[in-house]
Amino acid sequence: MSKTSVGYGKSPGAYKDKEKPFQIRESNISAAKAVADAVRTSLGPRGMDKMIQSANGDVTITNDGATILKQIQVLHPSAKMLVELSKAQDIEAGDGTTSVVVIAGSLLTAASKLLSKGIHPTTISESFQRASGKAVEILTDMATPVDLNDRESLVKIASTSLNSKVVSQYSGMLAPLAVDAVLRIVDPKKPDNVDLRDVKIIKKLGGTIEDTELIDGLVFSQRTAGSGGPTKMEKARIGLIQFCLSPPKTDMDNQVVVSDYAQMDRVLREERAYILNLVKQIKKAGCNVLLIQKSILRDALNDLALHFLTKMKIMVVKDIERSDIEFICKTINCKPIASIDHFQPEMLANAELVEEVTTGTSKVVKITGIANPGRTVTVLIRGSNKLVLEEADRSIHDALCVIRCLVKEKALIAGGGAPEIEVGQRMSEYAQGLTGMEGYCFSAFAEALEVIPSTLAENAGLNPISVVTELRNRHAHGEKTAGINVRKGAITNILEENVVQPLLVSTSAIRLAAECVTSIMKIDDIVMTM
Ligand code: ADP
Ligand code: MG
């Protein structure tokens, strides 16, 4: 009715500017590709490391895709999707965080070519989704089963993952360590998964990475409290307390005015009596090693209490974090004690030995020979400087994750670009049987996977084109495990080089990358709400 109604007759939501969705998509693709290019050079055993300096001056040296991307500040929303993609792979598989981003970058390049040929984005994203399903199917078909009792194979797989790290020269000792750690926490009742929170990582500066050890027991990164107390206790009876050994505070903000010396003496006497009573009860229960949780309300342990404990020859480890309590209880098989009334002999744990040992320049407390140990282990990582120590931690995490992948899905495939070429070829064959746009998109997807071998070759200083061509040729002649032998700079049977990786790492990388690309393709506008 009103003559001023705006846009009447045209559909209000449709774009007047037909170019806009196209431009938005292009901008999304190029932003995401820029992120992928940033990590490309880190792929593989000859990949380069990155040095990242954060705004507050902290420096990180790493080769791990997830870590690099976590630290990079990206502004573009679709670039952020790639950062998230790498994080998702880190959670799902733990390794392959660089590969997943490189694959996504390559799929985006392929998609952008298909777009410019006039194929509709929905067709592309649907085909890619189906193609990733097919790729996973082919990979699963290629995989060889692995037995968790076959320690040798597991060590090979962990070494492959460690080979591409900054600490690769130590893979010979870190790989068996990671395998043993995971195998020790596998619960026979739940053989299909492990919780890596049961592997506690403690980092201590000093020594070299070669001094890293797996400890069957518990380690505290702090030394025993006070001085003069026992530092070694055989036949330990361990109590873990969550209450404080210090004078109680009033509930409200009261003030007590002490006006003469007699009153002051009384206050001190009462305090002394109160604390002595607590310590005597602890002694009476038979405890000789006391673990004390940190308190934020008041001193968990005051000087007087420490003095009494020292006199009674009770070893004390204080400042235990709240978050570590669960792990400690599980390991030494005890219950945390929340009040002195519950400090009974049956709440204590037994161990052969609790000892303060010197590692490098500092001291740690070790509990060994635990009577009823839980399924946990502790890894004590040593390193000569902070940067190496941090990177060793991340690398061991990757190796642990790789073994966890094998626990989840007990199958392995060759590495070194062999699976990608094989999948690419079988998919191209499959695509010839498809009709319409879909076949075209499948071929593009298959070709995009070749980015992994070509990047591996490039980073190893080989000619990517001739390497990929030769790989294609060999695979076409049935050499399913022909891959890039980085050490020799040639193409050989990669299984002989012992380069193997878990199936789950590759399948999850392809699935997640395709999913990310699919969602980027479906975006046709960016709306700011600020
Ligand atoms: P990601 O963060 O994705 O795990 P990496 O830098 O660990 O990246 O590189 C993994 C890739 O390197 C995999 O494709 C793997 O097959 C390959 N690779 C690892 N070790 C070797 C090796 N010794 N020879 C050839 N390729 C290898
Ligand atoms: Mg890796």
DSSP string of 356-371, one letter each residue: EEEETTEEEEEEEEES
Nearest to 299 by CA among 340, 250, 247: 247
66-81: per-residue pLDDT in tens?
888 888 888 888 888 8
CA distance 476 to 426: 10
- Whether the per-residue pLDDT at 506 is higher than 60: the answer is yes
Three-state DSSP class for residue 230: coil
In the numeric block, the tokens 């420490």 are attached to 306
What crossing angle do the helices spanning 451-459 and 418-432 adopt, rounded to 10°? Answer: 150
**Strands (E) located in 191-308:** 199-205, 213-215, 217-220, 232-241, 289-293
Q: Of the bound ligands, which one is closest to the alpha carbon of residue 39? A: 1
Answer for the pair 65, 161: CB distance below 8 angstroms, yes or no: no
- Whether the per-residue pLDDT at 340 is higher than 90: the answer is no
pLDDT at residue 16, rounded to an integer: 64
pLDDT band at 4 (very low <50, low <70, confident <90, very high): very low
Q: Of the bound ligands, which one is closest to the alpha carbon of residue 417? A: 1
Q: Mean pLDDT over residues 21-49, rounded?
A: 84
292-325: per-residue pLDDT in tens?
998 887 778 888 888 888 988 889 988 888 888 9
Ligand 1 within 6 A of CB of 416:
yes
The DSSP element (H or E) to which 62 belongs, if any, is: strand 59-62
- Neighbouring residues of 163: CB distance < 8 A, sequence distance ≥ 6: 45, 171, 499
Residue type, 458: E
pLDDT at residue 103, rounded to an integer: 93
Ligand 1 within 6 A of CB of 378:
no
Phi, psi of 72 (to 5 degrees): -70, 140
Active site (annotated) includes residue 398? yes
Neighbours of 506 (CB within 10 A): 30
CA distance 263 to 249: 18
Nearest to 86 by CA among 160, 136, 36, 120: 36
pLDDT at residue 197, rounded to an integer: 84
Q: How many helical (H) and strand (E) elements, i.e. helices and strands, does the chain have? A: 16, 16
pTM: 0.81
191: its two tokens: 């053989």
Percent of the chain residues past pLDDT 70, beyond the cut: 96
CA distance 325 to 336: 8
248: its two tokens: 């109680």
Q: Mean pLDDT over residues 168-190, rounded?
A: 87
> From the candidates 62, 67, 98, 109, which is the catalytic residue?
98
The DSSP element (H or E) to which 491 belongs, if any, is: strand 490-493
pLDDT band at 435 (very low <50, low <70, confident <90, very high): confident
- Whether the per-residue pLDDT at 254 is higher than 80: the answer is no
Q: Distance of CA 513 to CAs 405, 407, 519, Å?
A: 18, 23, 10
Q: Give the β-pairing of 289-293 and 232-241.
A: parallel
Higher-pLDDT residue of 8, 16: 16
439: its two tokens: 């076949």
Q: Mean pLDDT over residues 501-505, rounded?
A: 89
pLDDT band at 15 (very low <50, low <70, confident <90, very high): low
Q: Is 116 exposed, middle or buried (0-12, 13-18, 19+ CB in 10 A)?
A: exposed
Query: What mean pLDDT is reported for the chain?
Result: 85
pLDDT at residue 107, rounded to an integer: 92
Phi, psi of 198 (to 5 degrees): -80, -5
CA distance 108 to 445: 10
pLDDT band at 433 (very low <50, low <70, confident <90, very high): confident
Distance between Cα 452 and ligand 1 center (Å): 9
pLDDT at residue 14, rounded to an integer: 58
Residue type, 59: V
116-154: per-residue pLDDT in tens?
888 888 888 999 999 999 999 999 988 888 888 888 888
Active site (annotated) includes residue 64? yes
- Neighbouring residues of 356: CB distance < 8 A, sequence distance ≥ 6: 223, 224, 231, 232, 363, 364, 365, 366
205: its two tokens: 């500066």
Nearest to 392 by CA among 155, 211, 153: 211
Q: Give the β-pairing of 349-359 and 362-370.
A: antiparallel
397-425: per-residue pLDDT in tens?
888 988 888 888 888 888 888 999 999 99
Which mutation among 103, 157, 164, 167 tests ligand 1's pocket best, with the greatest number of atoms within 8 A of CB? 164
Residues with CB under 5 Å of ion ligand 2 are 95, 161
513: its two tokens: 């990358």
Neighbour-count burial for 389-418, b at 16+ CB within 10 Å, e otherwise? bbbbbbbbbbbbbbbbbbbebbbbbbbbbb
Q: Mean pLDDT over residues 493-504, rounded?
A: 86
Question: Which runs of consecutive H residues, i.e. helices, occur in 285-433?
Answer: 303-311, 325-332, 386-408, 418-432
pLDDT at residue 100, rounded to an integer: 93
Look at ligand 1, atom 27, and give the residue with the nearest C-alpha: 416
Distance between Cα 58 and ligand 1 center (Å): 28
Percent of the chain residues past pLDDT 90, beyond the cut: 13
pLDDT band at 508 (very low <50, low <70, confident <90, very high): very high
- Whether the per-residue pLDDT at 3 is higher than 60: the answer is no
> From the candidates 90, 180, 198, 398, which is the catalytic residue?
398
Active site (annotated) includes residue 144? no
Q: Mean pLDDT over residues 377-390, rounded?
A: 88
* Cross-strand bridge partners of residue 218: 367
Distance between Cα 303 and ligand 2 center (Å): 49
DSSP string, 409-465: S-EEEE-TTHHHHHHHHHHHHHHHT--HHHHHHHHHHHHHTTHHHHHHHHHTTS-HH
Active site (annotated) includes residue 180? no
> From the candidates 60, 62, 67, 97, which is the catalytic residue?
97
Ligand 1 within 6 A of CB of 45:
yes
pLDDT at residue 372, rounded to an integer: 83
CA distance 108 to 118: 15
What crossing angle do the helices spanning 121-142 and 97-116 adopt, rounded to 10°? Answer: 140
Ligand 1 within 6 A of CB of 415:
yes
Ligand 1 within 6 A of CB of 99:
yes
Q: Mean pLDDT over residues 329-346, rounded?
A: 88
